[in-house]
Amino acid sequence: MSHRVELAYQAFFTRVQNGEKEVGYSRFKGKYWYDSISYTQVGFHLRDEETILHLSKIGDIPMVYHRPIEGVIKRVTIRRTSTGKWYACFTVKMDDPKPAEPIPIEERSVVGIDVGLRTFCTLSDGTTMENPRWFRTEEKRLAKAQRKLSRCEKGTPKRRKQRLVVARIHETIANRRMDFAYKTAHTLTQTYDLLVFEDLAIKNMMKNHCLAKSIGDAAWNLFISTTVNKAEEAGYMVVLVNPAQTT
């Protein structure tokens, strides 16, 4: 808990130093406010061929692996999603990988990527990718579920059940958006050695109330950050350039 308090105050002072208007001073949160708990170094261990996670004061929890655990486990965080699903997230310490041999600039396959709203992105070689508009496709179903939720009396089982319906729609949208970003980033990093993006001020662009919903739905920041991570894993480069005169 002290670690979270420290992080909260660090974030608060960072916002103050940046001169933000809404600094969000840290405040007390009751026991139902938290959806996760972290064990640092001690209080947990894996057993039965790492299919059972034992947590101090909780007991044994069977796990379904998404991927094998590599490295030395340093921390585990148990997280509950808004739809009631539970995840165990492990933080591990790994040896630094051997750096890949850099590819000379003249031998790199280079592509410029221009993100947009009509098309998700346009490449400098003329290739375009359609914008899936995940939120827009689910907007009517989400609005209908939210109207039904607003009519339910607070504190009733019916309202709790309807809240889960709304949360599942939001979760579906987020999962589809993330899946699309990861697959697109993987395709680009497997095709090109050097990827160039515009260094967009997305936070400022979101202040345009006419475009904010569409920009948020496109999730450019998620796509760019995912591509950066994928490129680093593959030993390639992503460069952010001034957006002036680049389209």
Going by pLDDT thresholds of 50, 70 and 90, the confidence category of residue 143 is very high
Angle CA(29)–CA(156)–CA(175) in degrees, nearest 5?
65
39-59 burial, b at 16+ Cβ within 10 Å, e below that, comes to beeeebebeeeeeebebeeee
Closest CA to 70 of 93, 50, 45: 93
Least confident of 20-29, 124-133, 176-185: 20-29
Average pLDDT over residues 108-136: 91
Given pLDDT bands bounded at 50, 70 and 90, which one contains residue 95? confident
pLDDT one-digit tens code per residue, 54-89: 999 889 999 888 778 888 889 999 999 989 899 999
Each residue's pLDDT tens digit, 190-217: 888 889 999 888 888 998 999 999 999 9
* Mean pLDDT value across residues 38-50: 85
Residues 149, 162 contacting (CB under 8 angstroms)? yes
**Could you tell me the pTM of the whole model?**
0.77
Full set of structural domains in the chain with CATH? 2-13+23-93 (no CATH), 105-241 (3.30.420)
Show Cβ contacts of residue 165 under 8 Å, excluding neighbours closer than 6 positions.
Answer: 145, 148, 149
